[in-house]
Amino acid sequence: MDNILSVLVFFPAIAGLLGFVVDKNSARAYGITVASIEFLLSLWLWFSFDTTDAGMQFVENIPLIPDFGVSYYLGVDGISLFIVIMATLMTLIGMISMSITENIKNMIVTLLFLEMTMVGVFVSLDAIIFYLFWELSLVPMLYIIGAWGGNLRVYAAVKFFLYTFTGSLVMLVGMLSLAYLYHNTTGVWSFAITDWYLLDLSTTEQLWLFVAFFLGFAIKVPMFPFHTWLPYAHGQAPTIGSVILAAVLLKMGTYGFVRFSLPIFPDASVMMITPIVTLSIIMIVYTAMVAYAQKDIKQVIAYSSVSHMGIIMVGIFAMNAEGISGSIFQMLSHGIVSGALFMLVGMLYDRRGTKLMSEFGGLASVMPKFAVIFGIMLMASVGLPLTIGFVGEFLVLVGFYNVSPIMTMLAGTSIIVGAVYMLTLYKKSFFGPVTNEINKSLKDLSKIELISLLPLVAIVVWLGVYPKPVLQPIDNSVKAMVEFMDKKAKTQEAKDVIKTVKVKREVK
């Protein structure tokens, strides 16, 4: 099936449209079935994917607005493949574990549309189509937060929408300018990212365009000064919203850096290493400290999620194969781990109606299974060896060590600080005597909850012990990209950064 990507993108959308007809009592079963089929389709994509080929596969290219250079252009490589699979997996698991009963049909339909936009973003190779899915993803999320969220939900939803919308409009201007530069050079209009890769840009142009794209992506990641929308969004969103937001939507930003910024503006990216990594380190340390100060478990996880996105940013701007592959692996691990953590907090909230740490204590004795899974996920989040979190974080730090040992040290504190707040959280809520009477009667995980969590636990351990099947294709595509960047870079400075790394790798 050569057009499997189109099927992957539009299957959930069509299922969403048809979902309006399904009776509301069967809506949940319908949603889970559709999401499972979608997940199986994405697995099929993986099996038919040629892991030795570093280039784009399953390419579809149909001109849509030829006079304007817009085409329906899809493709997948090692970088995007696993993010797509993670998106479909997390949607499925999120749906299974969902405890919402009110307006369930609207929720299912919204989730299916959201799934379309998420898959669409990661497989688009045309900037306008990318932008289309990117913007469209805001609408279902706005509805999920706004309709099923907490007390401040409307404020949080609108803030989320406006923040991202503003950033991406600046990015749109960047895209239009890039298309114009391409037109000036070649005489042809094109928004295809692969065409843009070949474009020879002066350093000044690169810098300006880099900034325009940076605004769009950085707000989504969210980078340090632009992160203020995220705690609100997480704080108010229902569990499913937080899961999807943390697991998939944030990855759009970091994916954007890998797909657009690095290969199109290699020189500007090298020049921006210091400012961006500085921001990332501030983000890592600062949000980790803020996480420590939180009283609400969900807020701790929200801030820790921001902190770990900082590690991903550092890895991307290591500008070498280790760092970037590590980052992409870390995106997957972050998606699975923080998604699972948000689900766990949601389960706790369903039982008690509160997320405050002070309300809990000694949960390990009442809910042993819950405590074990929470513990595993927590360790993975901190980056314990033999869990999925370790692989990505280690690679990122190794990669960035080539660029700057001092900054690597600073970024590495994230593991320590992360351990501090996470273990404190665990100690306060799970260990010690059961102080609150109500907590004694809490039920342990139900079957459905176990079904939704155990696969994630399995993945955490599997990829922690043996990451090769996933890491190999990622690394292939990343190496091809780094070599391409090295060839394309014009300034000596950029060549140095990218090259030194290459030499070192050969020495190994």
In the complex, least distance from residue 191 CB atom to other proteins, rounded to whole angstroms = 10
Does 211 participate in binding other proteins (rule CB under 8 A)? no
Whole-angstrom CA distances from 357 to 222, 307, 449 are: 26, 20, 22
Query: Phi, psi at residue 296, to the nearest 5°?
Result: -95, 130
Whole-angstrom CA distances from 186 to 70, 72, 263, 427 are: 16, 20, 19, 62
With 0-12 CB in 10 A as exposed, 13-18 as middle and 19+ as buried, what is 139?
middle
Q: Please give the Cα distance from 257 to 263 (Å, whole number).
A: 9
For tokens 């070649």, name the residue: 186
Number of H helices, E strands in the chain: 24, 2
Does 220 participate in binding other proteins (rule CB under 8 A)? no
Q: Would you mind telling me the total number of residues written for the chain in this entry?
A: 508
Q: Which of the stretches 166-174, 225-233, 331-339, 345-353 binds other proteins when contact is defined by CB under 8 A?
A: 166-174
Among 11, 82, 161, 210, interactor with other proteins by CB under 8 A: 161
399 neighbors 324 (Cβ within 8 angstroms): yes
Among 73, 131, 360, 374, interactor with other proteins by CB under 8 A: 131
Positions 63 through 102 that interact with other proteins (CB under 8 A): 64-68
Whole-angstrom CA distances from 92 to 17, 29, 86, 487 are: 18, 11, 10, 41
Q: Is 22 left (phi over 0), alpha (psi -120 to 50) or beta?
A: beta
For tokens 């699975």, name the residue: 336
Structure tokens at 44: 């099929």
Taking the least distance from each CB to other proteins, the nearer of 1 and 65 is 65
In the complex, least distance from residue 235 CB atom to other proteins, rounded to whole angstroms = 17
Number of residues in contact with other proteins under rule CB under 8 A: 33
Q: Please give the Cα distance from 293 to 504 (Å, whole number).
A: 41
Among 36, 37, 56, 135, interactor with other proteins by CB under 8 A: 135
Query: Phi, psi at residue 323, to the nearest 5°?
Result: -60, -50
Q: Which of the stretches 84-92, 177-185, 293-301, 493-501 binds other proteins when contact is defined by CB under 8 A?
A: 177-185
Among 1, 173, 458, 465, interactor with other proteins by CB under 8 A: 173
In the complex, least distance from residue 323 CB atom to other proteins, rounded to whole angstroms = 32
Does 153 participate in binding other proteins (rule CB under 8 A)? yes
Does 147 participate in binding other proteins (rule CB under 8 A)? yes
Q: Which of the stretches 40-48, 149-157, 344-352, 386-394 binds other proteins when contact is defined by CB under 8 A?
A: 149-157
Does 60 participate in binding other proteins (rule CB under 8 A)? no
463 neighbors 470 (Cβ within 8 angstroms): yes
Does 169 participate in binding other proteins (rule CB under 8 A)? yes
Taking the least distance from each CB to other proteins, the nearer of 173 and 188 is 173
Does 136 participate in binding other proteins (rule CB under 8 A)? yes
Taking the least distance from each CB to other proteins, the nearer of 161 and 257 is 161
Among 7, 158, 398, 420, interactor with other proteins by CB under 8 A: 158
Taking the least distance from each CB to other proteins, the nearer of 59 and 158 is 158
Does 166 participate in binding other proteins (rule CB under 8 A)? yes
In the complex, least distance from residue 100 CB atom to other proteins, rounded to whole angstroms = 15
Structure tokens at 301: 């996880």
Structure tokens at 36: 């499972």
With 0-12 CB in 10 A as exposed, 13-18 as middle and 19+ as buried, what is 275?
exposed
Q: Which of the stretches 164-172, 237-245, 383-391, 497-505 binds other proteins when contact is defined by CB under 8 A?
A: 164-172
Among 177, 194, 203, 491, interactor with other proteins by CB under 8 A: 177
Structure tokens at 151: 């007390």
Q: Which residues bind other proteins (CB under 8 A)?
A: 64-68, 128, 131-132, 135-136, 138-139, 142-143, 146-147, 153-154, 157-158, 161-162, 165-166, 169-170, 172-173, 176-177, 179-180, 183
